[in-house]
Amino acid sequence: MNLRYRVGSMNEPAGRSGFAHLFEHLMFSGTPAWPNVFGAHAALGNEINAWTTEDGTVYYVDGLSSSLPMILSLEADRMANLGRSVTQTKLDLQRSVVKNEMRQNVLDKAGASGWEAFWSGLFPKPHPYSRMVIGSVADLDAATLDDVRGFFNSYYLPNNAVLVLVGDLEIDDTKALIADTFGRVARGADVARPAVPAPTQARLKLVLEDRVPSPIVVVGFSGPVAQSPDNGALSIAAELLGNGEYGFLRNRLVSQLGIATYASASWTGGLLGGRFTFEAGAAEGVAPEALESAMKTAFADFLKTPLDPVDVERARTGILLAARLGSEALKDRAGVVSYNADVLGDAQSALVDDPRVKDASVAGVEATMKRLLKPEDASILVLKPGPRGGYPDALIGSSGTPQPFTAPERAAIDIPKHAAGQAPSATLPAMETATLSNGIKLVHYTMPEAPMVYVAASAAGGWNSVPEGKEGLLELAASMATRGAADRGSADFAKAASDIGAGVGHQAGTLTTMMTLGVPPEKLDQGIGLLADAVLKPRFDKTEWTVLMAQTVDWLNGREADLPGVAGRMAKATLIPQVPGKAAVDWSAKALASISLDEARDAFKAEFTPKAVTFYSVGPMPVATVAASLEKAFGAWTSDTAGYAVEPSPAAHFNGGQKVLLVPEPGASQSALFVARPAPGTDESERAESTAVSNLLGADFSSRLNSVIREEKGYSYGVSSYLMRPMKAGSGLVVATTVERANTGPAITEILKGFAGLTTLPVAQDEVDRTVTVYRRALAGSAETSAGLFSSLIGAVGSGSTLEDQQTRMAARTKLTLDAVQKQALALASLDPSLIVVAGDPDVVMSQLAAIGFKDVEIVKRDEVGEETAMRALDLLGGNRQAPLSASPWRVGDGGTTRAVHSCTGDRDCGAQIHAD
């Protein structure tokens, strides 16, 4: 289900910035009929989430078709009655949660506030897009109960919403359910959409300092609306300019000049306008001014250079294929239909190729670029490494004098509570096997309707298999194998794959390393040929090695500003200490610098041998067809090399008692918390029961810890809990969260209470049922998409298991009993032994730790990458200093901006997590 309300930040009047996103959060606060929205969905194993954009607010549910009656009842009740159910307490709580989200995704994320200022600044005031989706602190603080109720009464109306259902549904019955639920909600006054303002280029320049690992330059233009015929040409232009493997900028700035570590471009259309942006990250020693100049020159040359029809066709093929694959999952298809129905005015268009892309001509693309992307109109964002100089006013100050909402109060409506039906069952496709003439085994799963064939060449040996001081060797080697093979350099190899709609990639884990292929079925032989080139004839060009190493160094440097990552890595290194001669558990700058191109080449050749490789595939054809294609490309491959030995993941070591570590981050506005205690490994008894205990603690927003720390206290944007993987014995149960720094002690106290509650508050049947239903849904959806099945397959192989074993383990979780889970909860309640890691400002945190009884706190020195301090967002949200944010690993704008602001943390959905271990 996808329910899209036609209200986003574009609808917010002066003084009300952030209201659409704030109300997205309030929509989960419950009504008298459904007081616990998260709990109601968790009881059926449904995945729920929501996000807010400039154009709308979207709520989705992904669950079994049998749960549809309940879903429609709950969603109709929220549409009818949520506004009158909001109390001052709920408003204050969700305002606090939104501020925590702002800290985590904008204020404490390197470059994010600068990017947000630039993104909104591309549309000068009074354009509705000139406001940030997440809003300003001043406007959030000023929000009153009457304000948010008035907002609901004005916009959360059936005549201002689009409902999309995709699945195995009986049409007449579904229409009757909709009539009996949403049909009871009276329409309100029609909502006028903002008029499309006349196009205006901002031509702004922002130069900001932030905790980015190297200078970043972004160039942008405002553009036409999403409905414009120009969208196809601009999408193709962005692909030609910014493809990360062979785009014009990549070729010029990274490969030829060597002044950038990456380059990319994007076109994003909206209801009131679009944005065309391109960006690059500076190579070591390159000044931002030099990078900016080179980017401008390159872009001018791009506009002047006649487009190659072959390149345009390649871009077209990739865009259309990506759109098709992006709609394979039912949840995603519902989202595309919803967007097209609302923004483009044509739901049916979601089911066919976009004619604006399909029919775009070379001349048309050239003319559109020259007309809409004039270099003199460009806006520039420059992010420099350094202490933060201040926050954009749009994040801090009021957006104007607010006026009251005038929509009348809506009367309560009684929506029938329909119960879910009987859950369906599903089975995996049967496993088929074949053996090539040289002895390599193929494991295949046939999915007749699959739009792609996926193949993996999996070699024994992963992170654990390399010697001490060479951590990352096999990952780097596998990455190099995708960057040019046989007679094709990196760009030409990537182009050859794109020309047939294929992609050749790699996946490296602790136990295995894989080279992967995705290709349309009709191009299987050509795709297998490219995979064979990557495995058998990788080039390992020096230029690409230099690029890869620079990108990896940037990533290593940047992640040191990610506070939760810092805490997690410190905990992992403590629990799995270095064993002489064996690989450490994490990357290091020292190890990276010690790895040479020759070593990587030799390692790849030693690892990928016929004796060490197994093929895995998913696709619409039978195993014999895949085997025949592999035989042609790999059948003559011989070698006496045995490959790498598989080294199992070591167990987590918990010493007696409770160990507390503080990782200093002076000036941090937040504290990252990591609490762990021993738990069974994947092959040990009580693993299934331990999964249920972990889920009831923190797997979703209905869990015990989230119910208190997020939903009651407002300390955090969200708490997660999980069992450490992939150790087969000796794992750990982990609780992790990030909190506003003043709440460090209270949040830890609530976590400790949560563990103690496993003894004092016995596990309830409904808590067990939530895990049971989650895994029922997981089993039913295992083969929903070919990409999803392939991901599960190689994930299982990578952890030393099989897909069938994973299914068996998930099935065991659907048979959990209350007695067994209660017994395991008692076994997991004690935090003796345990490890508690806090990453935060010692000046603020130490006194809080002492106040809750932590007297023996060990302060840990940061490694050589992270010795610098990070001054953070304090004045804005309750502190006394300002400075930089935490890092995005590769570049600004990768999931951390408020182009779409989510109500859930970025690395997990609101629904319970499914770990098939």
pLDDT of residue 917: 56
Closest CA to 737 of 693, 672, 670: 672
Helix (H) or strand (E) holding 738: strand 731-740
The DSSP string of 97-121 is: HHHHHHIIIIITSTTHHHHHHHHHH
User: Strand locations in 339-464, DSSP E?
Assistant: 379-385, 431-435, 441-446, 453-460
Confidence of residue 656 (pLDDT cuts 50, 70, 90): confident
Task: State the Cα angle at 421 between 417 and 422, rounded to 5°.
Answer: 155
Other CB atoms within 10 Å distance of the CB of residue 303: 16
Q: For residues 519 and 525, what is the distance between their CA atoms, to the nearest angstrom? A: 9
Confidence of residue 549 (pLDDT cuts 50, 70, 90): very high
315: helix, coil or strand? Answer: helix
Domains plus CATH for the chain? 2-193 (3.30.830.10), 212-385 (3.30.830.10), 431-634 (3.30.830.10), 658-783+802-867 (3.30.830.10)
Q: For residues 128 and 900, what is the distance between their CA atoms, to the nearest angstrom? A: 16
In this structure, the chain runs to a length of 917
Percent of the residues in the chain that have a pLDDT greater than 90, as a whole number: 84
Residue scoring higher pLDDT (705 or 897): 705
266: helix, coil or strand? Answer: strand
Structure tokens at 205: 């320049």
pLDDT of residue 427: 82
Structure tokens at 750: 């609530």
Please report how many Cα atoms fall inside a 13 Å half-sphere around the Cα of residue 828, on the Cβ side. 35
Rounded mean pLDDT, 11-29? 95
Spell out the residues 6+ positions from residue 562 whose beta carbon is closer than 8 angstroms to its own: 886, 887, 889
Helix (H) or strand (E) holding 736: strand 731-740
Is the pLDDT score of 550 beyond 80? yes
Chain center to CA of 433: 34
Structure tokens at 95: 């305002």
Closest CA to 110 of 242, 266, 281, 262: 281
Rounded mean pLDDT, 207-234? 96
Amino acid identity at 290: A
pLDDT of residue 560: 85
Rounded mean pLDDT, 892-899? 28
Q: For residues 379 and 205, what is the distance between their CA atoms, to the nearest angstrom? A: 6
Give yes or no for a contact between 857 and 846, defined as CB atoms under 8 angstroms apart: yes
Kindly report which listed range (372-376, 463-467, 559-563, 730-734) carries the lowest average pLDDT score.
Answer: 559-563
Is the pLDDT score of 418 beyond 70? yes
Tokens 């309560």 found at: 412
Give yes or no for a contact between 56 and 160, defined as CB atoms under 8 angstroms apart: no
Q: What are phi and psi of 158, to 5 degrees?
A: -65, -30
Q: For residues 47 and 45, what is the distance between their CA atoms, to the nearest angstrom? A: 7
Q: For residues 172 and 378, what is the distance between their CA atoms, to the nearest angstrom? A: 53
Confidence of residue 205 (pLDDT cuts 50, 70, 90): very high
CA torsion sign for 334, 335, 341, 342 is: positive
Please report how many Cα atoms fall inside a 13 Å half-sphere around the Cα of residue 198, on the Cβ side. 0
Biggest alpha carbon–alpha carbon distance for the chain? 80
Amino acid identity at 317: T
Is the pLDDT score of 913 beyond 90? no
The alpha helices in 447-521, defined as continuous H runs, are 473-481, 490-499
553: helix, coil or strand? Answer: helix
Amino acid identity at 494: A
Confidence of residue 389 (pLDDT cuts 50, 70, 90): low
Closest CA to 530 of 554, 504, 556, 506: 504
Give yes or no for a contact between 613 and 536, defined as CB atoms under 8 angstroms apart: no
Is the pLDDT score of 898 beyond 90? no
Other CB atoms within 10 Å distance of the CB of residue 102: 29
pLDDT of residue 106: 86
Is the pLDDT score of 887 beyond 60? no
Rounded mean pLDDT, 25-47? 94
26: helix, coil or strand? Answer: helix
Q: Which residues share a beta bridge with 210?
A: 385
Structure tokens at 466: 């390399």
Other CB atoms within 10 Å distance of the CB of residue 642: 11
Measured between alpha carbons, how far is residue 88 from residues 23, 31, 147, 152, 660 in Å?
Answer: 13, 14, 11, 15, 37
Structure tokens at 569: 């890595």
pLDDT of residue 612: 97
132: helix, coil or strand? Answer: coil
What pLDDT digit, counting tens, does each position of 745-802 carry?
Answer: 999 999 999 999 999 999 999 999 999 999 998 888 888 999 999 999 999 999 899 9
pLDDT of residue 894: 26
* Prior bond of 126 cis (ω within 30°): yes
Give the mean pLDDT of the chain.
Answer: 91
410: helix, coil or strand? Answer: coil
Tokens 């072959």 found at: 310
Please report how many Cα atoms fall inside a 13 Å half-sphere around the Cα of residue 302, on the Cβ side. 27
Closest CA to 303 of 379, 366, 244: 366
Task: State the Cα angle at 369 between 368 and 370, rounded to 5°.
Answer: 95
Give yes or no for a contact between 664 and 867, defined as CB atoms under 8 angstroms apart: no
Q: Which residues share a beta bridge with 538?
A: 485
Q: For residues 719 and 463, what is the distance between their CA atoms, to the nearest angstrom? A: 29
Measured between alpha carbons, how far is residue 720 from residues 96, 439, 590 in Å?
Answer: 18, 44, 32
Q: For residues 253 and 263, what is the distance between their CA atoms, to the nearest angstrom? A: 7
CA torsion sign for 650, 651, 654, 655 is: negative
pLDDT of residue 883: 24
Is the pLDDT score of 912 beyond 70? no
Spell out the residues 6+ positions from residue 369 whose beta carbon is closer than 8 angstroms to its own: 233, 234, 237, 303
Closest CA to 511 of 788, 724, 801: 801
Confidence of residue 465 (pLDDT cuts 50, 70, 90): very high
For the chain, the 3-state helix, strand and coil shares in percent, each to the nearest 5, are 45, 15, 40
Is the pLDDT score of 867 beyond 80? no
Give yes or no for a contact between 96 and 41, defined as CB atoms under 8 angstroms apart: no
The DSSP string of 625-674 is: HHHHHHHHHHTT-------PPPPPPPPP---SSEEEEEEE-TT-SEEEEE
Query: Torsion over CA of 115, 121, 122 and 127, rounded to 10 degrees?
Result: 140
pLDDT of residue 426: 75
Give yes or no for a contact between 68 and 15, defined as CB atoms under 8 angstroms apart: no
Rounded mean pLDDT, 807-834? 96
What pLDDT digit, counting tens, does each position of 272-306 carry?
Answer: 999 999 999 999 999 999 999 999 999 999 999 99
Q: What are phi and psi of 307, to 5 degrees?
A: -75, 140
DSSP type of residue 253: I
